[in-house]
Amino acid sequence: MEKLTKYKALIAELEPYTPSPLTILKALQDVDIMDWDAEYDSQKDKKSIAVAAIQVLKKLIVLTSDSLGKSSQGYSTEGLQKRIKALCAENGLDATDFVDDLSSVTDGSMYW
């Protein structure tokens, strides 16, 4: 069986979403993972891979769909936020550091 690299671990964490390889590499570097082709160690790498995944998923929140050649995918803002919150919960991270809770309702009285 082929080894699971940090790069592949990030791809697995992002499924079913398929960002570009460049986006994945940047996310890995943003969390200081330079040896992205090294073997993934869940004891040492799980949290940093989760943060990299969150960074990628945050970018997708602003899209409703993406099309590349013959492939396209749609995005649910609510679903992406739930996935980010789940990753945070699994890794002891505060979700409010990564997403705004857009479900709060205000009456607009602060504008009157």
- Report CA-CA distances (Å) from 58 to 79, 83, 93, 108: 11, 10, 15, 26
pLDDT value for 34:
95
- Of 95, 69, 68, give the one whose Cα is nearest residue 80: 95
Tell me how far apart the alpha carbons of residues 95 and 64 are, in angstroms, rounded to a whole number: 22
Instruction: DSSP letter for 111, please.
Output: G
Q: Which residues of the chain have pLDDT under 50?
A: 102-106, 110
CA nearest to 66, candidates 54, 56, 81: 56
Calculate the alpha carbon distances from 110 to 103, 106, 107 in Å: 18, 9, 8
According to DSSP, the residues that pair with 71 across neighbouring strands are 68
Give pLDDT, residue 105.
43
pLDDT at residue 35 in the model:
96
